[in-house]
Amino acid sequence: MNRWLNRFVTLLLTAVIGWGAWSVIHWLLVAADWRVVVSNLPLYAVGSYPVDQRWRPLLWMVALFVLIGITLLGPRRGPLQRWLPLLWIAMAPVGLWLVAGGLMLQPVSTRDWGGFTLTLLLTFGSGLLALPLGVLLALGRRSRLPVLRLSSTAYIELMRAVPLIAVLFFGQLLIPLFLPPGLEINRVLRAVLAFALFAAAYIAEDVRGGLQAIPPTQREAAAVLGLSEWQSLQLVVLPQALRTALPSLTNQAVGLLQNTSLMAILGLVELLGISRSLLANPVFIGRFLEVYLWLAAVYWLACTAMALLSRHLELRLDPLRSDR
Amino acid sequence: MRRRSLLLQVGIASLLLALLALLVNNLAVNLLRTGLGLDFGWLGRPSGFALAESALPYSPSDSYLWALTIGWLNSLKVIAAGLVLATLLGVAAGAARSSSNRLLRSVAGGYVALIRQVPLLLQLLFWYFVAFLGLPETPIGDLIRLSNQGISLLGVPLSVEFCAVLTGLTVFTGASIAEIVRGGVNAVPRGQWEAFRSLGLSEGLGLRRIVLPQALPAILPALTSQYLNLAKNSTLAIAVGYADLYAVSDTTITQTGRAIEGFLLLLISFLLLNLLISGGMAGINATVLGRLRRSR
Question: Pick the residue with more confidence: B47 or B225?
Answer: B225
What pLDDT does residue B84 have? 95
Q: Is the pLDDT assigned to residue B2 strictly greater than 70?
A: no
Asked if residues A124 and A95 have their Cβ atoms less than 8 Å apart, the reply is yes
Residue ranges of B 81-140 with Cβ closer than 8 A to chain A: 99-101, 103-104, 107, 114, 117-122, 125-126, 129-130
Q: What is the mean pLDDT of residues B51-59?
A: 82
Cβ-contact B162, B242 below 8 angstroms: yes
**Proportion of chain B above pLDDT 90, given as a percent:** 31
Choice among A204-213, A273-282, B25-34, B104-113 with the minimum mean pLDDT: B25-34
In a domain, A18, yes or no: no
For chain A, what's the residue count? Answer: 324
Across the interface, whether the CB atoms of A258 and B12 are under 8 A apart is answered: no
Measured CA to CA, the distance from residue B169 to residue B127 in angstroms comes to: 10
Helices marked H in A227-287 — which ranges?
A: 229-232, 238-259, 271-279
Q: What is the mean pLDDT of residues A292-308?
A: 91
Which tens digits make up the pLDDT trace of B222-258?
A: 899 899 999 999 999 999 989 999 999 999 988 888 8
* pLDDT tens readout for residues B72-122: 999 999 999 999 999 999 999 998 988 888 889 999 999 998 999 999 999
pLDDT in tens, B125-184: 999 998 888 877 777 777 777 777 778 777 778 888 999 999 999 999 999 999 999 988
pLDDT of A216-267, one tens digit each? 888 889 888 988 888 888 888 888 888 888 888 888 999 999 999 999 988 8
CB spacing of A161 vs B274 below 8 angstroms: yes
Domains of chain B in start order, with CATH, are 39-295 (1.10.3720.10)
Question: Among A28-42, A127-141, A280-294, B83-97, whose mean pLDDT is lowest?
Answer: A28-42
Q: What is the pLDDT of residue A321?
A: 62
Interface check for A169 against chain B (CB to CB < 8 A): the answer is yes
The yes-or-no verdict on residue A289 having pLDDT over 50 is: yes
Q: Give the CATH number for residue A173.
A: 1.10.3720.10
Q: Is the pLDDT of residue A323 over 60?
A: no
Q: What pLDDT does A27 receive? A: 86
Question: What is the span of the domain harbouring residue A117?
Answer: 112-209+246-318
Tell me if chain B has a CB within 8 Å of the CB of A299.
yes
d(CA A15, CA A8): 11
What is the torsion angle, in degrees rounded to the nearest 10, for the CA atoms of residue A260, residue B166, residue B256 and residue B33? -20
Q: Are B184 and B132 in contact (CB under 8 A)?
A: no
Q: Is residue A157 part of a domain?
A: yes
Q: Is the ipTM of this structure higher than 0.95?
A: no
Q: How many CB atoms lie within 10 A of CB B272?
A: 12
> Averaging pLDDT over each range in B2-11, B60-69, B85-94, which range is the top one?
B85-94
- Write the DSSP symbol of residue B127: I
Q: Which residues pair with B147 in a beta bridge?
A: B150
Domain count, chain A: 1
- Measured between beta carbons, which residues in chain B are less than 8 angstroms from residue A15? none
Q: How far apart are CA B72 and CA B79, in angstroms?
A: 10
pLDDT in tens, B197-221: 898 888 888 888 888 888 888 888 8
pLDDT of residue B35: 67
Of A166, A174, A259, the CB nearest to B246: A166
Pairing between β-strand B138-140 and β-strand B156-158 as defined by DSSP bridges: unpaired
Per-residue pLDDT at B56? 81
Q: Which residues contact A155 (CB under 8 A, 6 or more apart)?
A: A137, A201
Q: Residue A324 has what pLDDT?
A: 43
Q: Could you say which of B114, B122, B234 has the minimum Cβ distance to residue A295?
A: B122
